[in-house]
Structure 1
Amino acid sequence: MKALQLSAPKQWEQIEIDEPSPPGPGEALVRIHRVGVCGTDLGGYLGKFPFFSYPRIPGHELGVEVVAVGEGVENVKVGDRCSVEPYINCQKCYSCERGLTNCCESHQTLGVMCDGGLTEKMILPARKLHPANNLSYEQSALVETLAIGCHAIDRAHVTEKDTVLVIGSGPIGLSAIEFARVAGARVIVADLSQTRLDFVTEKMGMTDTIQFDGSEADIEKLEAMTDGRRADVVVDATGNHHSMRRAMEMAAFGGRVVYVGITQQDLQFPHAPFLHRRELTILASRNALTGDFARIIQLIESGVIDTDPWITHHAKFEEVIESFPAWTDPESGVVKAVIHIS
């Protein structure tokens, strides 16, 4: 059975792996149809993503079809089209006991800490499959990306009274934008790239955007748009430690700062003038919760979330090794690439 493996950073190999065994109790055998490519995969390819280990078969944004189910499986049936919740949790640790399955103490994300879906078929815990029979396989593969933004916005308890500044308009930033809008908030989008800001304006109807340049002018522009108040909620989706350090400067007094991007660098910031004086709340946001997936599937089905603008690039399985390096270039215009397995 064919698969694509990163043997080391920037080193793809097409390999052959064994066919999966029949599913056991609580398991399902799925056929992979679509694999979405996100910043995690790009970072894994470049050797820059925390937690990524090698050799690894990537792929965690998956649109799949159920081929067989094991004993006791009732949530899905053969033939179901599903989105995959790729966060494998132990169900036993203190986090899992409290329902915090996204930060299980033994957490394994498919395609990052364990092999993922860049292959033909795989065995998964059936509890990680979410039926999406009214969605295309491409839409099913987008659900996980949307779930990241959904969880980040939920972490900040965003309401219609809030002004939300989303810094970074890559896929994770776009997902945060979607759910800030669903919550009824005013959304301002900031990015270094005017091309990305043009995308959110043209494709997502965003009217409030700021092209950041890293200077004090960034804050001045934000204050001009908020009557000097700055943002009630700042979501940093960049993964850049310089941006993440400055994020709290963008927050209003009593504001909330959500770090959904990931950096391996230390974050340093002055305590007194920002964190203490403004009594800010700093929140980390990791992965998503199980309930987010069913919610997102329903929002796509009902048309509240339009996925059409998201997918900008496609590749067949056989084209990935040649196409992938270009997707790491911000000037390539990639918002979301999708790999067709079958």
Structure 2
Amino acid sequence: MRAIILKEPGQFSFIEQEEVKAEKNKAIVKIKRIGICGTDYHAFKGDQPFFTYPRVLGHELGGEVVSISEGDIKHDLKIGDKVAVEPYLNCGKCQACESGHLNCCENIQVIGVHSDGGMAEYISIPLNKIHKSDTLSFDQLALVETLGIGLHAVNRAKLNQGEKVLIIGAGPIGLGVAQFSKLKGAQVCMADISGSRLAFIEKMGLSDSSIQVSGSLDDADLRAALGGDLPSVVIDATGNKNSMLNTFNIVAHGGRVVFVGLFQGDVTFFDPNFHKRELTLMSSRNCLPDDFREIISLIEKEVIDTNPWLSHRTSFEDMPNKFETFLEPSQEVIKAIIEL
């Protein structure tokens, strides 16, 4: 079985792996589509936390079930089902798992990050990590995980109808955050350094206002965009240290800050400012099984249209040569996908 491995930062190569074997409570999925995400780009550049080399990347997966090994896990899968893969393999035994926080299991193994992922012809996945759809395409199924990150962040923020939310970072994760913020009835302001990304989100109808950032966001920028107010919720999807630390200065008193992106370093803030605003700071990691099910239902009902997201494509064969080009700003990549 062929796979693509990231041997070290900046170096992909094809390898031959052993054929995937049937195991109890697992299914073998033939990979059809692989979404490329920020985690993959950071791994390629060598600045991804929780990562070791060499590694087969790929955790945004759409595929087809080709083999099922029965066991004690209840499921409704059958051979030939089109599926999205939930890539978060949790232990089921730790305190986090027992309290329902499967997304941040103490012993979590995210495929494509902690263990080898789906840039391969086939992958073996636990039955309870496979989510099927009778109607969605492989393209759509490969985007479910990306959308899940955004939905989980919005659920963490507990947005209210009409609430003013600032989303910093207009990449695929920020786009997902905007999608679900609008579905919650929030007033969305998007901020990014890229005018083309902001224009894309406005065209999608997912923002009420936008700010093209040239330096640091300040009160004046936000009050101008939000009718004189500051956002009561700031969701940062940049993974940029300066942007993340600045959120403490631009959120309304009594507000919430949610970090979706992350960086390798310490988060520090001026405590008197934090206290006088009585802020709530949250992180958001991965998503939950119910998020997968909700997103699949919303796409099936055409509440969410993922087609405009897919700006770039490559074949499995060409991926090692094309990958680095997706990092070029001139390419204006929204979401790139690999076809098998």
TM tier, shorter chain? over 0.9
Contact 1:197/1:209 (CA < 8 Å) preserved in 2?
Answer: yes
Structure 2 Cα separation of the partners of residues 284 and 4 of structure 1? 32
TM-score (norm 1): 0.96
Residues 49 and 294 (structure 1), Cα distance of their counterparts in 2 relative to 1, 3 Å cut = same
Contact 1:75/1:127 (CA < 8 Å) preserved in 2?
Answer: no
SS across alignment from 1:149: helix
Counting aligned pairs with the same residue, the percent is 46
Q: Which residue of 1 aligns with 2:296?
A: 297
- Quick one: which amino acid aligns to residue 47 of structure 1? G
| Deviating more after overlay: 204-213 vs 298-307 | 204-213
Structure 2 Cα separation of the partners of residues 215 and 97 of structure 1? 41
Residues 205 and 74 (structure 1), Cα distance of their counterparts in 2 relative to 1, 3 Å cut = closer
Q: Which residue of 1 aligns with 2:264?
A: 264
- Quick one: which amino acid aligns to residue 79 of structure 2? V
Structure 1 Cα separation of the partners of residues 205 and 116 of structure 2? 34
Contact 1:82/1:132 (CA < 8 Å) preserved in 2?
Answer: yes
Residues 303 and 246 (structure 1), Cα distance of their counterparts in 2 relative to 1, 3 Å cut = same
Instruction: Compute the displacement of 1:161 (Å).
Output: 3.0
Structure 2 Cα separation of the partners of residues 269 and 250 of structure 1? 13
Q: Which residue of 1 aligns with 2:32?
A: 33
- Quick one: which amino acid aligns to residue 151 of structure 1? H
Residue 155 (str. 1) matches residue 156 (str. 2): yes
- Quick one: which amino acid aligns to residue 320 of structure 2? I
Contact 2:178/2:207 (CA < 8 Å) preserved in 1?
Answer: no
Residue 287 (str. 1) matches residue 286 (str. 2): yes
Q: Which residue of 1 aligns with 2:12?
A: 12
| Deviating more after overlay: 40-49 vs 322-331 | 322-331
- Quick one: which amino acid aligns to residue 188 of structure 2? V
Q: Which residue of 2 aligns with 1:332?
A: 331
Q: Which residue of 1 aligns with 2:54?
A: 55
Contact 1:315/1:339 (CA < 8 Å) preserved in 2?
Answer: yes
Question: What are the equivalent positions in structure 2 for 1:301-316 lying under 5 Å apart?
Answer: 301-316=300-315
Contact 1:62/1:141 (CA < 8 Å) preserved in 2?
Answer: yes
Q: Which residue of 2 aligns with 1:140?
A: 141
SS across alignment from 1:175: helix
Contact 1:188/1:208 (CA < 8 Å) preserved in 2?
Answer: yes
Instruction: Compute the displacement of 1:201 (Å).
Output: 1.7
Contact 1:162/1:185 (CA < 8 Å) preserved in 2?
Answer: yes
List per-residue Cα deviations over 1:77-135 (Å, max 9, x = no partner): 11111111100000111100011000000011110110000011111101000012211
Q: How many residues were matched structurally?
A: 338
TM-score (norm 2): 0.97
Instruction: Compute the displacement of 1:74 (Å).
Output: 2.4
Q: Which residue of 2 aligns with 1:237?
A: 237
- Show structure 2 runs of 5+ residues with no match: none
Instruction: Compute the displacement of 1:328 (Å).
Output: 1.5
Contact 1:235/1:260 (CA < 8 Å) preserved in 2?
Answer: yes
SS across alignment from 2:298: helix
Contact 2:187/2:207 (CA < 8 Å) preserved in 1?
Answer: no
Structure 1 Cα separation of the partners of residues 76 and 158 of structure 2? 30
SS across alignment from 1:146: helix
List per-residue Cα deviations over 1:253-275 (Å, max 9, x = no partner): 111000000110222221112x1
Structure 2 Cα separation of the partners of residues 249 and 301 of structure 1? 40
Structure 2 Cα separation of the partners of residues 205 and 278 of structure 1? 28
Structure 2 Cα separation of the partners of residues 128 and 322 of structure 1? 31
Contact 2:28/2:124 (CA < 8 Å) preserved in 1?
Answer: yes
Instruction: Compute the displacement of 1:205 (Å).
Output: 5.2
| Deviating more after overlay: 222-231 vs 153-162 | 222-231
Residue 213 (str. 1) matches residue 214 (str. 2): yes
Contact 1:234/1:248 (CA < 8 Å) preserved in 2?
Answer: no
Instruction: Compute the displacement of 1:206 (Å).
Output: 3.0
- Quick one: which amino acid aligns to residue 105 of structure 1? E
List per-residue Cα deviations over 1:18-75 (Å, max 9, x = no partner): 11112x2211111000000000000011111101111100000000111111113523
List per-residue Cα deviations over 1:271-314 (Å, max 9, x = no partner): 112x1111010000000011000000001111111111100000
- Show structure 1 runs of 5+ residues with no match: none
Contact 1:42/1:328 (CA < 8 Å) preserved in 2?
Answer: yes
Contact 1:237/1:261 (CA < 8 Å) preserved in 2?
Answer: yes
Question: What are the equivalent positions in structure 2 for 1:240-259 lying under 5 Å apart?
Answer: 240-259=240-259
Residues 204 and 45 (structure 1), Cα distance of their counterparts in 2 relative to 1, 3 Å cut = farther
- Quick one: which amino acid aligns to residue 53 of structure 2? Y
Contact 1:75/1:126 (CA < 8 Å) preserved in 2?
Answer: no
Instruction: Compute the displacement of 1:169 (Å).
Output: 0.3
